[in-house]
Structure 1
């Protein structure tokens, strides 16, 4: 494969791209299986922790006491993994993004163990960051042995695309994210030449996930009646407000991170973080726990089921929980919890002003919060759009993205440097 890869100085031909097909397919399938395996293991463990165990003890599954005990115990368990397991479960999660350089393969077991514990224990983080890091590490390690002359960047892009394709059940999200990456990366060939292998990996992973797990991001929101002037006004207000809440978390992260670092050690920091998450869960309710993908469907199924104040409380609590979980050292991603925040904010807007259609409120809330936390414009638009599965909302989302983007661009990101300062 290494000898047939396109050179750095000449555009690749169709024949030169053919050797990418098999490794791309393999990486995509493996990326999907890793995600599905970790998710299934976490779900089985979650059933034990949140159903079998409290039932056996005669404690309410959703009681405040059980939430506090479970989140504190989860923090202690993850802290012990970070301190004791070789590789310390990878780098500080506050310093990592969705796609980062590969970590050593020895880090992967501890990273996945810490991820399973956090997902099962109810921590407000998703699986995307650690699973992507694990798949990148495995792909680079195996790729280096199978084809030593192949650039590591190829394996990084294949593994990242495969994981993102598996997460969303479609290669479109991976293509959009990598388009932003490749658009500024020098190299021969067109954008589609650069996306050829990653799209194969994302397609294979998405298909594998769809065949096994059949994921769906459609929230079955009320049908939107069509474009209205009031929708445009609502979109121009809700998306920037959601982005502002996201930016509040961005600015709070360095301070929260610094406070947990003063505790001198992952066990104490994560235990304290778990206790705070348990208290927040008791305040916001059971729906504000976990990564939020299942919980957000409960919210969307009952758009008039809570008051505006309750929706606002859930959004703020979830945003605070996401920030604390990231700051204290839990391994996990921010996309899925952010979707919960956006949905709660959108439904809050609908509850405050019934003229705001709940679907418009939800998609614009999700768009704004994701723009603030990810700075990925295409990913934010795609995620917001698939929640409603209504192509007529795309023009509205594009308009809503503009003021939200003006609010977040050039400002600190939801990611820290090694010294604890926010990246820009």
Structure 2
């Protein structure tokens, strides 16, 4: 026999999937997409109304400054008490420890857990802790879709409802199906395809659900991630250097918080009761808010718009304080038991860091600084490469930025890959 290696046969192409296989998925995808968006809009709308009462009507009636240090401390502590009561007394304790969960959708929660989870999320969004709605809303939509889908179409695989609801909620959150398609593609990498066909065959139903969720949100709420920054034209070598340096430095800063996460979580866990953990967490968040100002409260998306509207309105020191305070607030809120996600506050942290870089070095373009800061911070906090790249690019809405961010993401990814994540196992150890 010849010593030459025998050439391996080329891999077989995936079998063709007919339209007859995909068409039955259209109706479930549309229903789940619209339903997921509506639930997100209802919870967000109720939280915004409650936020207006707590932060505008009530302090005005009491003759207290709306964002005075005293009011921030009192209200965030009270939010911790209220969420602690829900976690303590609600059936299912508003879901598992959020420090052990990823973006959502891993395992559908039992339906009896959902009321407590929704109430805890709405209270958190209204009260000011630095978390977003994405994780609990995805978990709620996944659980509802799984439970109702198995009743209506019992022969359909349970994984179908999980993928549809996850994609639909991401579409609703971002107002576009692109982010959902990227996340689903990343999730399918290296795993057996649910449908024995091409990647696009497997993306068909989730992408349709995401499009339905995004369109519903757009028609009702008209969301926009575009910060309205000045047009960014042809990038230069200085822009490339700035993008790489800012993204890598932001990623390193985010990794500092990731490494601290199990220790902060362990400190709160020693209290062993939500009525101690959450009120204390709320008090710490109130003190941080008093230090960093009202822009460091809440999920941070509206506040990012305020920063971007006046990049010269704060000094480098003030941007640095907001960056560190918001990062500490995210770390505290995620560790003490508040139900919420980390993407939106990480966007604020990255944007404030990028604006700090611009204030220190005026040659750093504002758009480049914000996009690179958000990219590096999201890579560290979420470990979601596509979501990080997409979010950084969509904030600036300039085609030239995308090429810079693609290049800047590579060295930043080397700093975070294979290292601990901001997610813990049941025994409190960080996942890798």
TM range (shorter): over 0.9
After the TM superposition, which residues 27-42 of structure 1 pair with which residues of structure 2 at under 5 Å, given as runs? 27-42=32-47
Confirm whether residue 147 of structure 1 aligns to residue 173 of structure 2: no
Please say if residues 174 and 202 of structure 1, whose CA atoms lie closer than 8 Å, have aligned partners that are also in contact: yes
Please say if residues 32 and 206 of structure 1, whose CA atoms lie closer than 8 Å, have aligned partners that are also in contact: yes
Alpha-carbon distance between aligned partners in 2 of 1:156 and 1:258, rounded to the nearest angstrom: 31
Alpha-carbon distance between aligned partners in 1 of 2:18 and 2:223, rounded to the nearest angstrom: 36
After the TM superposition, which residues 348-367 of structure 1 pair with which residues of structure 2 at under 5 Å, given as runs? 348-367=356-375
CA shift for structure 1 position 91: 0.7
Determine the structure 2 residue equivalent to 1:399. Answer: 407
CA shift for structure 1 position 152: 1.1
Determine the structure 1 residue equivalent to 2:139. Answer: 133
Please say if residues 168 and 212 of structure 2, whose CA atoms lie closer than 8 Å, have aligned partners that are also in contact: yes
Confirm whether residue 422 of structure 1 aligns to residue 417 of structure 2: no
Match of 1:16 among 6, 17, 21: 21
After the TM superposition, which residues 188-227 of structure 1 pair with which residues of structure 2 at under 5 Å, given as runs? 188-227=196-235
**Unpaired stretches in structure 1, ≥5 consecutive residues:** 1-8
Alpha-carbon distance between aligned partners in 2 of 1:185 and 1:281, rounded to the nearest angstrom: 43
Determine the structure 2 residue equivalent to 1:374. Answer: 382
Determine the structure 2 residue equivalent to 1:115. Answer: 121
Alpha-carbon distance between aligned partners in 1 of 2:17 and 2:284, rounded to the nearest angstrom: 53
Please say if residues 233 and 400 of structure 2, whose CA atoms lie closer than 8 Å, have aligned partners that are also in contact: no
CA shift for structure 1 position 11: 5.3
Alpha-carbon distance between aligned partners in 2 of 1:227 and 1:261, rounded to the nearest angstrom: 48
Deviations 1:188-247 (A, max 9, x none): 111111111101100000000000000000001122232111101111100010001110
Q: Secondary structure at the match of 1:88?
A: helix
CA shift for structure 1 position 14: 1.5
CA shift for structure 1 position 283: 0.4
Query: Which runs of at least 4 in structure 1 moved beyond 4 Å after TM superposition?
Result: none
After the TM superposition, which residues 81-96 of structure 1 pair with which residues of structure 2 at under 5 Å, given as runs? 81-96=86-101
Match of 1:232 among 224, 228, 240: 240
Deviations 1:100-151 (A, max 9, x none): 2111111110000000000000010000000000000000000111111211
Q: Secondary structure at the match of 2:94?
A: coil
Alpha-carbon distance between aligned partners in 2 of 1:18 and 1:158, rounded to the nearest angstrom: 15
Alpha-carbon distance between aligned partners in 1 of 2:63 and 2:275, rounded to the nearest angstrom: 29
After the TM superposition, which residues 22-101 of structure 1 pair with which residues of structure 2 at under 5 Å, given as runs? 22-99=27-104, 100-101=106-107
Determine the structure 2 residue equivalent to 1:341. Answer: 349
Alpha-carbon distance between aligned partners in 2 of 1:35 and 1:184, rounded to the nearest angstrom: 31
Alpha-carbon distance between aligned partners in 2 of 1:24 and 1:305, rounded to the nearest angstrom: 45
Please say if residues 81 and 88 of structure 1, whose CA atoms lie closer than 8 Å, have aligned partners that are also in contact: yes
After the TM superposition, which residues 221-300 of structure 1 pair with which residues of structure 2 at under 5 Å, given as runs? 221-300=229-308
Alpha-carbon distance between aligned partners in 1 of 2:172 and 2:363, rounded to the nearest angstrom: 37
Alpha-carbon distance between aligned partners in 2 of 1:186 and 1:357, rounded to the nearest angstrom: 43
CA shift for structure 1 position 61: 0.2
Alpha-carbon distance between aligned partners in 2 of 1:327 and 1:151, rounded to the nearest angstrom: 34
CA shift for structure 1 position 278: 0.2
Determine the structure 2 residue equivalent to 1:4. Answer: none
Alpha-carbon distance between aligned partners in 2 of 1:90 and 1:262, rounded to the nearest angstrom: 19
Please say if residues 114 and 331 of structure 1, whose CA atoms lie closer than 8 Å, have aligned partners that are also in contact: yes
Q: Secondary structure at the match of 2:91?
A: coil
Q: Secondary structure at the match of 2:112?
A: helix
Please say if residues 250 and 412 of structure 1, whose CA atoms lie closer than 8 Å, have aligned partners that are also in contact: yes
Please say if residues 46 and 121 of structure 1, whose CA atoms lie closer than 8 Å, have aligned partners that are also in contact: yes
CA shift for structure 1 position 400: 0.6
Deviations 1:271-315 (A, max 9, x none): 000000000000000000000010000000010110001101101
Determine the structure 1 residue equivalent to 2:6. Answer: none
Determine the structure 2 residue equivalent to 1:156. Answer: 162
Matched length: 416
Q: Are residues 59 and 152 of structure 1, via their aligned partners in 2, closer, same or farther at CA, if it must alter by over 3 Å?
A: same
CA shift for structure 1 position 347: 0.3
CA shift for structure 1 position 395: 1.0
CA shift for structure 1 position 410: 0.2
**Unpaired stretches in structure 2, ≥5 consecutive residues:** 1-13
Determine the structure 1 residue equivalent to 2:5. Answer: none
Please say if residues 183 and 191 of structure 1, whose CA atoms lie closer than 8 Å, have aligned partners that are also in contact: no
Q: Secondary structure at the match of 2:92?
A: coil
Q: Secondary structure at the match of 1:87?
A: helix
